[in-house]
Every structure is written in C-alpha cells, then in structure tokens.
Chain A
C-alpha cells in the first residue's frame, strides 16, 4: 500500500529503484485517489515508464493536454508544444498526473477566481487553499501528487503552500524559463516547485532551473545542492520588524513564526532585527500597478482570432470586444482596466512610472538589508486559510493577503515557504527570503528548520 499522503519524491525514487513498487503502481496510487477538493482541472492517463508522477499548474503549457489558465477564454486550448519546464520534467521521466486549478490567469489569492470553480483546502474544505496556485498546493497536501509545479507573480506559490502546510519555492527571477507559460506579468512571473519537504523542493528546482535560449530573461544558475545540514551555525537571519509586526497578522501566526525564529537561534543562527519600511508600506500599491499594467499588455493577445474562445460579432472589432467580454472573468477584467488606466495617456507618469521608481526603492531597501544578513524571515501570509466566499466581494481586501509575499517578488528575490506550526488547527507558513540566487542557502536553512520543527504535513483530518 503506497501512502500518497506521506510519500516523498525522494522515497518514491528509492522504492522504484529497489523495485519495491512499479511505475504503474505508483502512478495509479495518485490517479485513483478521489479529488473531492477540486485540485485538478483535468487528470491524465499514465504515459508509462518508471518516473515520478507530477502535477502541473494549468497556466503551464503541456503539449496535447488542455491548458486553460483557469479561464473560459482558453477553455478549448490544447497547446501544440510543451513549455520548457514541462519538457524538462519529461526529460527527467516525470509523468503528468494532471493540470491543477488556478485563479484565472493566476490572478488571485484564493483560487476562487477560477472560471471552473474553487479548490478547497485539504485541512478544512470550507476554507480556501490560497492562490493562485491553490490546486497545486492542495494536490500535494492531499496526497493527490508527490510534488507539483506552480507559478508565482506576487505570492502564488508561497501563499498557497503556507495555507496548505507544504513547501513552496518562488525562485529568483530569471532562473526558471517562462517559455510556454501563460503570461500574467512578465517582469514578475516565475515558475517554481511545490513539495512535501525541502529536499524534494530543491530536487524539483534543480530539474526545472537553468538558462533557456527560448527565454531571453533566463540566466545560468548555480548548481543546486540538496540540503543535509542540521544546524544553522554561521547563518545571519534578519527579522524585518515591519513584516513581523504588520497590522493584520493574526496572533497565532505571529506566535508560530516567533517560535520558529527562536528555534533558528537555538540551532546556531545569529538573529537580529532589521527594517524594510517602504517595501512593506508601498509594496502592495506598487505591485497592483506594475502587475496589472503588464497584464493588460499580455492579455491583449486574447482577441478570438487565432486560438481560444471566439464570440460572434458583426465586424472584427465587435467580435474582439464580445470575445473578451464573454471569455474573461471579473478579476482579469478589473486588472486589465487598472493596467490600461495606469498606462494611458496623461496617467502613465503618475501611476506606472511612479510604481517603477518605487520598485527601485524596494530593491535598494532589500539590498541594504542583505549587506548585514544572509536571509530574512517573516510570516508568508498574515492569516491562516480563510473561509471560501469571505473576501470575494472585496477585491482590495483580497489583495492585502499578498502584503508579505509581494516585496521580495518586486525585487526579483527567491522566497521559500516552510510550514512552521498550526494556529486554530490550520497551517502557518514561515517565509525565508534571500538575495538573488541564494536558493541553496534557503534550502539549507529551510531543511534544518524543517527537521527541528517536525511539522506533520499531512492534514489532521486525513491522518
């Protein structure tokens, strides 16, 4: 009997190599599990082979397998080529279990913006799994996949991992190819791994990262080291006070993160306070100008002419306008309009131009902190998983979920979520952020903390 709730990819590999299980048995163990959380938008047949199964977020193009980005406008879209990351997974023998649910075009923090209905949190099905990558995070925590790929623009890997109690990495911008990935905000989008533990997360990152000639924003990546160290001697950890005392952080979240920081100190880390005042105060405003501006440009391609939905119209312009009316849900419409407004004549300097300058301020503030510290820590999300429907009527309240994940995204920095405890019976996520290309350090620290914390990643109701 394969326990998909606990089996790590590393252990699965060992079992396969020792021929204790077959590839077909392993795939079937996941594929036959009931998806009552709606983590998947579609599930795939076993392509055969002895590789480890994987789930992939539905914004990531997969040849011959529908890729909808959670949108009606792409409901019928079946890519004729693989994204570079999907091709890398295939080259490593990974077998696609299915495509996971996402907020439409990855725009959201709860997966409730999916045109195909929300995903439910494995710890409490009445709550959201986070977003936009709620499907990937829920699949990993509910034993529906050993690991998964997500994508992160302002927190869409880290925040769902926090709310579902697993490990998610948003890599340094430029380390993972975006070729063949449905574009949201191109200067922010990054694909990354979701896993049950830090070593699996690091291993999957090593599979998908690296320079890709089809994505000119990618760079050479330092070799990935699977973490082994149990201690944190010599590691300088900064605790940005604004990210740990921010208004809206729940007391139970603060308590769990505070305990994890004390634990880091007991493992030998040097812990000190630091400050990112403007990154926290202006990060969300900056993000909700830059990301919608880029989105309004990226989503201009959905015109009903070449692929995707087409609605009727008497002439070309009417067809395009009707297609976009019928195909986009409310959140993409809001962001397209905010972005179009921010880029429009007379407003460009005041909104988009100013936000780009604030982005420089955020980058510089982080660079200053990393003069004194190797990495910084905070809660990933100010709250534990909230109830489905609780925030859908108030887009602005939903945006504030991203308060703590956004600043490092704006600066292009890597961030790792590690589960660090429970509050009200729900997982709390610890966010580790380092300078560019510091993934190996994040893995080392995340792994040591994970061992010491001994957090049980299996949702209590499924044990």
Chain B
C-alpha cells in the first residue's frame, strides 16, 4: 500500500460530503495512509474459496406483516428539525 494522496483524500471527502480544511487534509493524509497500510493485511490470506460474511446470524427473509399503522404526529416529526415550512423540512436550494 503506497499510501493515499492528497487528491485521493479530497476525492473521498467529496464522496462522503465532508468539507475539509487544508490542515485536516494534511493530517488525514498521513493518518489514513497508516491505517490503510495496516488494514491491507487482509489481502495476505488466500480466500479463493471463502464466501463473504455480511452478517453473523443465519437469518433470511425476516418479513414483517404489511399492516398500515399511524405515523408520529407532525409536530413530533418536526420537533428536531432545523427549519420547517408547514409539513416539509426547509433546506437551502439545490
């Protein structure tokens, strides 16, 4: 693992919708390179015939009954909203 470049840090931050200051880019570049080098260890094993595990339990098709239920009252839905316009969350224009 050759480490991660500044451009890659910025690319990943953009994908993750994270604004970063110049100082943060520099700090994270070093730290993320170290961490990626360490976790790359997983590639040492021969895993050709090993299936992936996404989840530790053997649960399949955990269906719930499709029954309508009351939702929360609107005032509770919006209780934590930074900004509200009637029955909608108000955000800056896209």
Residues in A lying within 8 Å of B, measured CB to CB: 76-78, 80-81, 173-174, 187, 213, 216-217, 219, 278, 281-282, 284-286, 288-289, 296, 300, 303-310, 313-322, 324-325, 328, 330, 333-334, 336-338, 340-342, 344, 350-351, 353-361, 363, 395-396, 399, 410-413, 436
Contact = CB atoms under 8 A, between A and B. Distances in A.
B91 A316 contact: yes
A378 B17 CA distance: 41
Given A321-B18, A337-B13, A361-B45, 20 more contacts: A78-B79, A187-B55, A216-B62, A285-B42, A288-B39, A303-B17, A308-B80, A310-B83, A318-B92, A325-B20, A325-B21, A333-B24, A334-B28, A337-B32, A340-B15, A351-B40, A357-B45, A363-B56, A396-B35, A436-B57
A341 B56 CA distance: 24
Contact of B19 (A316, A324, A350): A324
Chain A: interface secondary structure?
helix
B83 to A, nearest CB: 7
Contacts of B15: 340, 344
Contacts of B54: 187, 356
A219 B36 contact: no
Contact of B81 (A217, A306, A351): A306
Nearest to B44: A282
Nearest to A187: B55
A338 B1 CA distance: 14
Interface string B36-64: 10111111110100111111110100101
5 contacts: A80-B77, A174-B59, A216-B64, A296-B16, A316-B94
A305 B91 contact: yes
Given A219-B57, A324-B18, A359 B35 contact: no
A316 B15 CA distance: 15
A319 B83 CA distance: 13
B41 A337 contact: no
Contact of A213 (B8, B9, B64, B82): B64
Interface residues of B, number: 53
Contacts of B51: 357, 360
Nearest to A360: B53
Contacts of B28: 333-334, 337
A395 B38 CA distance: 11
B10 to A, nearest CB: 10
